[in-house]
Amino acid sequence: MRLTVLLPKTDYVMGERRPARLILRNESGTALAFGASPPTMPGALRLTLIGPSLAAGARAPWREVSSRSLSHALAARTGSRGRLDPGQSVESTIALHDWLPVTKPGRYRLEASLLHAAYPIVSSPVEFDVLAPPPGPASMGCDIAGPEGSEVLTTWLQEVSGQRLLMMRVFRETRDGGALDAAPHGPTRALGAVAPGTSEALAPWSNDPARISSVSWLVWSNGASLLALAEPATMAEPFRFDLEEPPAALVRPPLQTAAGELFIPIISARGRELRLIAFRSASDATHVTPGREIGRVRLRRAPVASRATLQPASLGNGVSVVLVEAGPHGLEVHHVKTSGLGRFSRVETTHLRGLSALPDSEPGLWIDTSGRLRAAVLALSSKAPRQLVLAEVTHHPDGRQGPPARMTALGELPCAPRAALVRPHPALKHAGALTWALLLEDGRLLGPGTAGAPMGTRHPVSVPLELYLGRGAYILTRDPVRGPVFEPLRSTNPSGSSGG
C-alpha cells in the first residue's frame, strides 16, 4: 500500500487556501480491505502537520475530510469498510487551511499515515513555507451605496519566490457576542504574478449595491501602464492602457459601475492635468479590449489631495473628482465631473481661506440620490498650524456651488500629522454624518470618538489610510503575520497596544 501527499506549490501567504491531495494505491497482488474491524482498530488515515505554530504537531483524522470522485469514501464513518483491488487507487483532497490552520509564518512539514494493524504506512513528508506579508500598502474597495455592514475587498502586492503576486481578501463586519468586528470572510487568494516594477494595487469602489453587474475589477500600475483584471482578461493578458510617462498619482479609488465600466482618474506626471481613463467589459465578453482616454482637464497647480466618486446608477454613472490645491490665500477645492455627453470638465471651485493642507490627506465625497455632491476636507488653520479644521462643501446637481463652506474646529493636534481622511457614514449619509481619522507622526490615531486623546493600534496603520464603515468604524492596519486587517477606531487604547 502506498500513500502519497501532494501540494500544488511550496510557498503560501498567511491565510491563503492550501489544498492537499492524497492518493492511496494498492501495489500488492491481493485485494486489501480497510475500515473499522473491529472498532478499536479502525483503518484510519490521519494527517499530521508540524511547524512553528505546531511544534508538537497537529492531527486531523481522515473521517473528518471530505472526499471527491471516489469509488468509495475514505472518509467513511466508523463501522464501514473499504476495498482496494490490486493496482487500484483512490484519492481525495483536504482543505488544509481549514482543518490544520497555522498562525505563524515559517516552514511546515505535512505527512499522512494509514493506521492499520495489517499494513501501517506513512507517506513521505512534504514541506511548504508560509510567508509573512510585506509591509507595503493595501487598498480597500466596496459599494458606495451598499447596505450597512456590506463586505469589503482588500488587495495588495506580495513577494513570493521571487515573484510579485496580486493578492486579495474579503472582510465582513460580524458580531461576536456584544462586540462588533471586521473579520476575514474566506481565505486569502493569490490571483497571479504581476510584472517586475509593479508598484500599486487598487480595489475599485462601485455604485452597484444590488450586484446587477457580474463584472468585478482590480487595478494595478506598472510605470506608465495601467492594468486591470476582469472577465475575460487573465493576469497574463490583462486590460491595459499605456500612458506617455508614469503618472504623478492615481486618484483613489478606481470606480466601477453597474454597467461594467471601470474609470481610473490619474494626475499626469507633472501634476498639471487630470485625465480620465476608461475600460469596459461584460459578463458575456469574449475579447480583452484596450482602455481609452475619455477626457482631460488642465490644472493650475499640482493637487495636494484628491478623491473620486460615482453618481448613483439611477443618475447615469457620472464620475466626479475633487482636487485640493494650495492657493495663495488658502486651499482651493475643484470639482471636475463628466457630463451627460461624456465630456470631462471643471465645473466649480470653492476657496477655503485661511486653511493649509494636511500631508497624505483624502477628502470624503458622496453624491445623494438627487445628484448633489458633498465634499469634506480635513485641514489645518494657517494661523494656528496645530488647529484641526473640518471644511464641508456642497455642489448642486448641475455643478453650481451650494451654500458657503461650513467650517468646524476639531481641536488642537498633540503632534505633527502624517495622514488623514474623511468618509461619509453609509447608513447616515442623508444626515451628513461623517467619520474621519488622522494618523499622527508617533503612530497614534485621532477620530471623532477619541475626544482629543489619541488611540493606539495593535499593528501599524496602513498608509494611504483606509476606513471601513459599517455599524462600527475600522481602520486598516498591517499585521506582521496575517497581513491587512481592520481594527476598531475607538476612543481607548486596546489591550497590548504598541501605539505604532
Q: What is the pLDDT of residues 299-353, one digit of tens each?
A: 999 999 999 999 988 888 899 999 999 999 999 999 999 976 668 888 789 999 9
Helix (H) or strand (E) holding 128: strand 126-131
Average pLDDT, the chain: 84
Question: Which triple of cell numbers denotes residue 239?
Answer: 486590460
CA–CA separation, 256 vs 337, rounded Å? 15
Tell me the mean pLDDT in the region 469-479.
Answer: 90
pLDDT at 273: 95
Q: Are 60 and 100 in contact (CB under 8 A)?
A: yes
Mean pLDDT to the nearest integer, 402-413: 92
Diameter over CA atoms, the chain: 92
Nearest C-alpha neighbor of 413 from the set 436, 380, 435, 382: 380
Beta bridge partners of 161: none
Least trusted range by pLDDT, from 137-146, 303-312, 376-385, 429-438: 429-438
What local confidence, expressed as pLDDT, does residue 56 receive? Answer: 66
| CA 391 to chain CA mean position, Å | 29
H or E element in which residue 97 lies: helix 96-99
Whether the predicted model's global pTM rises above the 0.95 cut: no
Share of the chain above pLDDT 90, in %: 49
Query: Per mean pLDDT, which of 136-140, 150-154, 332-336 is the most reliable?
Result: 332-336
CATH code for residues 2-131: 2.60.40.10
> In whole angstroms, what is the distance from residue 86 CA to residue 80 CA?
20
Query: Which residues touch 41 (CB under 8 Å, ≥6 apart)?
Result: 116, 117
Three-class secondary structure of residue 255 per DSSP = strand
Whether 422 has a pLDDT exceeding 50, the answer reads yes
Q: Range with the lowest mean pLDDT among 21-30, 232-241, 409-418?
A: 21-30
Asked if residue 2 lies in contact with residue 27, where contact means CB atoms within 8 angstroms, the answer is: yes
Report the Cα 151 to chain-centroid distance in Å. Answer: 10
pLDDT > 50? residue 154: yes
Residue 102: C-alpha distances to residues 18, 61, 189 (Å): 11, 17, 16
Identify the pLDDT of residue 43.
46
pLDDT at position 427 is 57
- Distance in angstroms (rounded) separating the CA atoms of residues 289 and 413: 49
Q: Which three cell numbers stand for residue 366?
A: 458622496
What is the spatial distance between Cα 12 and Cα 14, in angstroms, rounded to a whole number? 6
User: Which residues in the chain are classed under CATH 2.60.40.10?
Assistant: 2-131
Place of cell 489591550: 495
Closest CA to 188 of 132, 239, 234: 132
Cell 477626457, residue located:
295
- Range with the poorest average pLDDT among 198-202, 350-354, 396-400, 427-431: 427-431
Could you tell me the three cell numbers for 460? Answer: 501599524
C-alpha cell at 257: 459601475
Provide the strand spans (E) within 299-450: 305-310, 319-327, 330-338, 344-353, 355-357, 361-362, 364-367, 373-381, 387-395, 406-412, 417-424, 434-440, 445-446
